[in-house]
Amino acid sequence: MPTETHPEMTVRKPNFGLNKDSMPVHYYMDNPVITHLLNSFHVVFPAGEKFFIRAVNRYAAQLNDPIMKERVKAFAGQEIQHMAQHQKFYETLRKQGFPVDDFAHEYEESAYKTVEPFVMKLFDHLFGEGKGNAIALSVTAALEHYTATLAEVALNHPELFENLDEDMVHLLKWHAAEEIEHKAVTFDALKAVDDSYAMRAAGMVIGSLALFWYAGLNMAKFIAYDKHINWSEMPAKTAKALPKLAALGWELVATLLPYFKPDFHPDQMDNKELAQQFFKEAEHYFTAKAS
Ligand SMILES: [Fe+2]
Ligand SMILES: [Fe+2]
C-alpha cells in the first residue's frame, strides 16, 4: 500500500553467486583489515536483522494503521533476504579457513541470548513494564539509521567498489539500496509506540556501543585466524588507505549525528534517488541472475 511519503518497498529475492574459489582471501583491494571489517559485517548483519524483526514484531498487534502494518511486513521480508544472502558467503569463508560458524554462534550467544534479555529486563525493572520491548525497538531504529547512513555514503562513492568481485558488489549495493528504501519503518514504529526523545537517544547509545563492540570483535577474530596477512606490508597499506578512510569516517559521522536532533526523521535524509538509481542500473544483472 504505497503512499507518496512511503513508496512501495519491493521484497526482491536475488541469488548472488558468492560461493566461489576465485575470491581472494583479501578480496577488498588486497587490504586484510578492510576485508575483515566487511567479513565482520557478514557475521553481524544476519543475527542483527533477526533481532530487528523480533523487535518490531512484538508490536505487530498494536500497530493499527494498515499502511504501517504493510511497511513492517515488507521490512521483515527484505531483512530475511539480506540475512540469507550474507550467509551464502560463509561457504567461501569456510573454504578460506575461517571458523565463521563459530564466530556467528558466539556472537548470537553473547548479543542475543545474554545482552538483549539483560538490557530488556533492566529497562522493564527501571522504567516500568513494556520499556524492555521499547528499548529493543529503539536500538533497532538506531541501527537502521546506521545502515541507511552506511548505504548513503557507500552508494555516493562508486570508487569504493572498484576491482571488487561483481557478485559481492551487487550484494553490498543491493543491501544498501534496500536499507535506504526501508530506512524509516522501524523509526515510525517506535514513534507510534513510544515517542519520547530519551528512549530514542538511549537506543542510539546502546546500539552504537553494541555495533562497535561486536563489529570490532569479529573483525579481530578474522584477523587472528588469517594466515595470509603479511604484517610487514601492513604499515604501507594502512598509510595508503588512511586518508580515504578518514574522509569517509567524517562523512559517516556527519550523516549519523542528525539522529540526535529532536525533530529528526529518516525521510530528511535525501538519498532515495541513490537507491532507485542502483536498481535501474543493475536491472540487467538481476535479470541475468534470475534466468
Ligand atoms: Fe538489512
Ligand atoms: Fe534494515
Cα–Cα dist 211/164, whole Å: 25
Distance from the CA of 158 to the center of ligand 1, in angstroms?
20
Q: Give pLDDT, residue 290.
A: 66
Q: Give pLDDT, residue 18.
A: 87
Distance from the CA of 27 to the center of ligand 2, in angstroms?
24
Ligand nearest to the CA of 149: 2
Distance from the CA of 183 to the center of ligand 2, in angstroms?
7
Distance from the CA of 81 to the center of ligand 1, in angstroms?
8
Cα–Cα dist 19/93, whole Å: 9
Distance from the CA of 49 to the center of ligand 2, in angstroms?
7
- The pTM score is 0.94
Ligand nearest to the CA of 46: 1
Nearest CA among 288, 282, 280, 226 for reference residue 27: 226
Q: What are the tens digits of pLDDT across the range 132-179?
A: 999 999 999 999 999 999 999 999 999 999 989 999 999 999 999 999
Report all structural domains of the chain as residue ranges with CATH numbers, in order of start.
Answer: 32-290 (1.10.620)
Distance from the CA of 255 to the center of ligand 2, in angstroms?
16
Spans of the chain, pLDDT less than 50:
none
Distance from the CA of 118 to the center of ligand 2, in angstroms?
23
Q: Give pLDDT, residue 205.
A: 98
Distance from the CA of 235 to the center of ligand 1, in angstroms?
33
Q: Give pLDDT, residue 3.
A: 59
Distance from the CA of 240 to the center of ligand 1, in angstroms?
30
Q: Give pLDDT, residue 19.
A: 85
Q: Give pLDDT, residue 284.
A: 86
The three-state secondary structure class of 270 is coil
Ligand nearest to the CA of 180: 2
Residue whose C-alpha cell is 516500568: 128
The CA-based angle 194-196-198, given to 5 degrees, is 125
Q: Give pLDDT, residue 201.
A: 98
Q: Give pLDDT, residue 248.
A: 95
Distance from the CA of 164 to the center of ligand 2, in angstroms?
23
Kind plus residue range of the DSSP H or E element containing 277:
helix 272-281
